């Protein structure tokens, strides 16, 4: 058996084991379901802000089309209806099927709402009123063509230039960044934990002794990491594809270069992060004498990661372009989760990406070397949990 | 020319000396039993032979490859189907997929667990798990078999099946080394045995050589005698009482007739016979001496 052949066989076993497990399928579906729920929530929330049901009563009835047109300019879809029965309109307001009822003359509009008036609708109605008043004054002042003056005034546009790359769609991109980071965090820790459990299982069941009669320790560990890593990558790609599909179908996301680069960088960072954590978790698994012990050894490692990631998340949402989140995202244990989030949010410069990749690779090489050494020494050890120093010395 | 030679193995775990100059040889087609009490160093010796553990000193010379190994107690993935495990292990040892499947099926049938082929290993009874583990050690046609407690937890039928398989392997020329504490079984099965205690080899040799090589032993039954009547006798060593009879070993060519006369003087002799020790007795003597030291 060639070394590559042995590694491939081990990886094959791990991969089919994961793919055949019903937890793999259930877990993937559960995450997609959670994402679908999130998309639906966004849609209904978006519906509340982006749409408005407005009833026009009495003299105001003629304003429906103008309000609809003006509101559209501000990104608000107004669904205008004519109100005949004010009492019924009140009931509709209370029930929420109407957002506002407009009455009165154009110069003196009265608006009834259940709670608060949508700020964009307020702006539209206020502007309309002002224009009416202004037009009336212009006419009275003898301006020859008040319509032309109003049209010229309305045609005025201000020129906006963004100096910050986050700029347009910034909120949407930060949201994608957070989702990406969350998925990476879950996927990396879950699959690295599988590595630790697998190592501990082989050790406690002594399968490892039978296996080591056929192959070298590094072949066994490498095959395991590759197999489980591939399973995780397949799951992640399935989830990402479903997520992008859902978001695009719901109109929350315009498929674009951002989506593609987010996906590609997400996959790259998943691999970088998984290998780093797999090596770290394999150490924990090798030191444990039973599978239950592996969890105890893992807890401190996971705790550090969780604290870092939570801090990173918070900073990412509160201050997406800040120095703190930049620094955190460059630290190797946190880079695989935070850096792709920053890439998705669009606030990272390429030298930082290069630096983070370099630091993560260097750390992985170090942890991998240590892990291989500890694994080789600790895996044949039976009895109690093994001390780290003993495992390093190789007895 | 031994097929495998273990020489001068030393191993410490911290302050504990696990092995102290352990050595033996096993010829091609020979069944060698490594017997000793728990903690004597059997498993450590086997793991060093296998290369799972490194010795502090000494060496294991074995030209062939591969080794079939049966670890103590466990050695299978609990949640993997028995047949899948056998195929996987065979393939790891370099068999093609078709040969691996054929070999797995052959050993499942030979060891009487074919009906468990699609069961997860943890679903099997302990005895059947042991058979499956043995199948895993044999599935790739190893050139050397190293088996740690292969008979532990087996019912008498399974013991016969496994014994037959081991004899068969030896007949093919495969050296078979197994560790155990069932001495009667080792005596019946083995060509040679090594007795190990506290990490040291106490005795190594052919079963006949060991049991016959001891000094002449006498078994003497006496009625109406005072207990310990033989203690004052010269030229003999009292080995102990065995069911109302006294077991003696003659030292330096002591005449057995003089012992008989002494016995008759001590009481009514009901039994007087030459005694060939079983391996179990040899073992007890060897272990007992060790603890008296």
Residues in chain A: 395
Q: Do B78 and A201 touch (CB under 8 A)?
A: yes
The helix-helix angle for A3-20 and A22-50 (nearest 10°) equals 60
Q: Could you tell me if A160 and A107 are in contact, meaning their C-beta atoms sit under 8 angstroms apart?
A: no
pLDDT on residue B210? 75
Q: Could you tell me if B15 and B23 are in contact, meaning their C-beta atoms sit under 8 angstroms apart?
A: no
- Which has the higher per-residue pLDDT, A213 or B94? B94
- Residues near A62 by beta carbon (within 8 Å), at least 6 away in sequence: A56
Phi, psi of B151 (to 5 degrees): -100, -5
Q: Is B161's pLDDT higher than 80?
A: yes
A154, A283, B78, B214, B234 from B123: Cα distances, Å: 80, 30, 8, 48, 62
Residues of B in contact with A214 (CB under 8 A): 66, 89, 92-93, 140
Phi, psi of A128 (to 5 degrees): -60, -45
The complex's ipTM?
Answer: 0.76
pLDDT (tens place) for every residue of chain A, 395 residues total = 788 999 999 999 999 999 988 888 898 888 888 878 877 776 665 544 567 888 988 888 888 888 888 888 777 888 888 888 888 888 888 888 888 898 888 878 888 888 778 878 888 888 888 888 888 888 888 777 777 887 787 777 776 655 544 444 566 677 777 788 888 888 898 899 899 989 988 888 888 888 888 888 889 999 999 999 999 999 988 888 888 788 777 766 665 666 777 788 888 999 999 999 999 888 888 888 777 777 777 888 788 888 888 888 888 777 777 788 888 888 888 888 888 888 887 777 889 899 999 999 999 999 999 888 888 888 776 655 566 666 666 54
Number of Cβ pairs closer than 8 Å across A and B? 63
Q: Is the peptide bond before B66 cis (omega within 30 degrees of 0)?
A: yes
The pLDDT mean for chain B works out to: 85
pLDDT on residue A382? 61
Q: Could you tell me if B35 and B11 are in contact, meaning their C-beta atoms sit under 8 angstroms apart?
A: no
Give CA–CA dist A10/A286, Å, rounded: 17
pLDDT on residue B32? 93
Closest CA of chain B from A186, distance in Å: 25
Closest CA of chain B from A211, distance in Å: 7
Q: Could you tell me if B68 and B142 are in contact, meaning their C-beta atoms sit under 8 angstroms apart?
A: yes
Q: Do A214 and B93 touch (CB under 8 A)?
A: yes
Tell me the two tokens of residue A188. 């990396």
* DSSP class of B40: S
pLDDT on residue A171? 67
- Which one, of B251, B245, B253, lies nearest residue B273 by Cα? B245
pLDDT on residue A166? 43
pLDDT on residue A344? 80
Please, what's the largest Cα pairwise distance for chain B?
Answer: 76
pLDDT on residue B119? 95
- Model confidence at B291, in pLDDT bands (50, 70, 90)? very low
pLDDT on residue A181? 82
Residue A250, Cβ neighbours under 10 Å: how many? Answer: 14
Closest CA of chain B from A376, distance in Å: 9
Work out the average pLDDT over B88-97.
93
pLDDT on residue B262? 85
Indicate the pTM of the whole model. 0.73
Give CA–CA dist B72/B149, Å, rounded: 6
């Amino acid at each position: 058996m060639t070394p590559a052949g042995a590694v491939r066989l081990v990886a094959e076993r791990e991969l089919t084991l994961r793919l055949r497990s019903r937890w793999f399928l259930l877990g993937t579906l559960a995450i997609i379901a959670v994402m679908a729920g999130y998309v639906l929530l966004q849609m209904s929330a978006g519906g509340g802000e982006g749409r408005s049901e407005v009833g026009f009563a009495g003299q105001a009835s003629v304003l429906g089309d103008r309000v609809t047109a003006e509101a559209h300019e501000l990104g608000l879809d107004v669904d205008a209806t004519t109100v005949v029965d004010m009492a019924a309109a009140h009931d509709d307001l209370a029930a929420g099927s109407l957002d506002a009822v407009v009455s009165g003359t154009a110069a003196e509009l009265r608006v009834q709402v259940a709670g608060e008036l949508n700020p964009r609708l307020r702006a539209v109605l206020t502007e309309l009123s002002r224009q009416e008043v202004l037009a009336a004054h212009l006419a009275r002042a003898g301006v020859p063509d008040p319509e032309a003056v109003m049209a010229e005034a309305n045609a005025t546009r201000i020129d906006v230039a963004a100096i910050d790359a986050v700029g347009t769609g910034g909120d949407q991109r930060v949201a994608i960044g957070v989702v990406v980071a969350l998925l990476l965090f879950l996927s990396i820790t879950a699959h690295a934990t599988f590595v630790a459990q697998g190592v501990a299982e082989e050790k406690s069941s002594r399968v490892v002794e039978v296996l080591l009669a056929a192959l070298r320790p590094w072949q066994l560990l490498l095959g395991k990491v590759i197999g489980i890593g591939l399973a995780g990558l397949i799951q992640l790609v399935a989830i990402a594809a479903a997520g992008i599909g859902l978001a695009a179908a719901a109109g929350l996301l315009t498929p674009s270069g951002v989506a593609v680069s987010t996906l590609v960088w997400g996959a790259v960072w998943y691999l970088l992060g998984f290998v780093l954590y797999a090596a770290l978790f394999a150490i924990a698994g090798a030191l444990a004498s039973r599978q239950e012990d592996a969890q105890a050894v893992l807890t401190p490692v996971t705790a550090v990661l969780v604290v870092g990631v939570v801090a990173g998340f918070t900073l990412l949402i509160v201050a997406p372009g800040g120095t703190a989140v930049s620094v955190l995202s460059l630290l190797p244990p946190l880079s695989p989760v935070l850096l792709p989030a920053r890439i998705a949010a669009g606030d990272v410069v390429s030298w930082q990406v290069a630096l983070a990749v370099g630091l993560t690779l260097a750390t992985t090489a170090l942890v991998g070397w240590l892990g291989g050494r500890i694994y080789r020494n600790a895996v044949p050890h039976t009895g109690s949990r093994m001390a780290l120093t003993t495992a390093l010395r190789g007895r | 020319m031994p097929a495998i030679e273990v020489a001068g193995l030393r191993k410490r775990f911290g302050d504990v000396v696990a092995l102290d100059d352990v050595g033996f040889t096993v010829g091609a087609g020979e069944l060698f039993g490594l017997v000793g009490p728990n903690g004597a160093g059997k498993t450590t010796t086997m793991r060093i032979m296998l290369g799972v553990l490194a010795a502090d000193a000494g060496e294991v010379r074995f030209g062939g490859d591969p080794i079939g190994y049966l670890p103590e107690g466990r050695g299978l993935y609990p949640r993997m189907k028995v047949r899948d495990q056998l195929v996987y292990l065979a393939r790891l040892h370099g068999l093609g997929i078709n040969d691996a499947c054929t070999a797995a099926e052959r050993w499942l049938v030979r060891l009487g667990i074919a009906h468990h082929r699609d069961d997860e290993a943890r679903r099997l009874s302990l005895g059947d798990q042991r058979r499956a583990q043995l199948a895993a050690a044999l599935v790739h046609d190893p050139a050397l078999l190293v088996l740690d407690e292969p008979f532990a937890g087996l019912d008498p039928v399974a013991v016969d099946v496994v014994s037959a398989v081991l004899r068969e392997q030896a007949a093919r020329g495969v050296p078979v080394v197994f560790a155990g504490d069932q001495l009667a079984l080792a005596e019946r099965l083995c060509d040679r045995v090594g007795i190990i205690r506290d990490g040291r080899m106490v005795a190594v040799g052919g079963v006949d050589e060991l049991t016959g090589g001891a000094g002449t032993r006498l078994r003497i039954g006496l009625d109406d005698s005072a207990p310990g009547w033989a203690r004052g006798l010269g030229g003999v060593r009292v080995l102990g009482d065995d069911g109302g009879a006294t077991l003696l070993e003659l030292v330096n060519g002591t005449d057995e007739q003089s012992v008989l006369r002494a016995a008759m003087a001590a009481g009514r002799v009901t039994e007087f016979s030459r005694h060939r020790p079983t391996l179990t007795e040899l073992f007890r003597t060897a272990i007992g001496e060790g603890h008296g030291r």
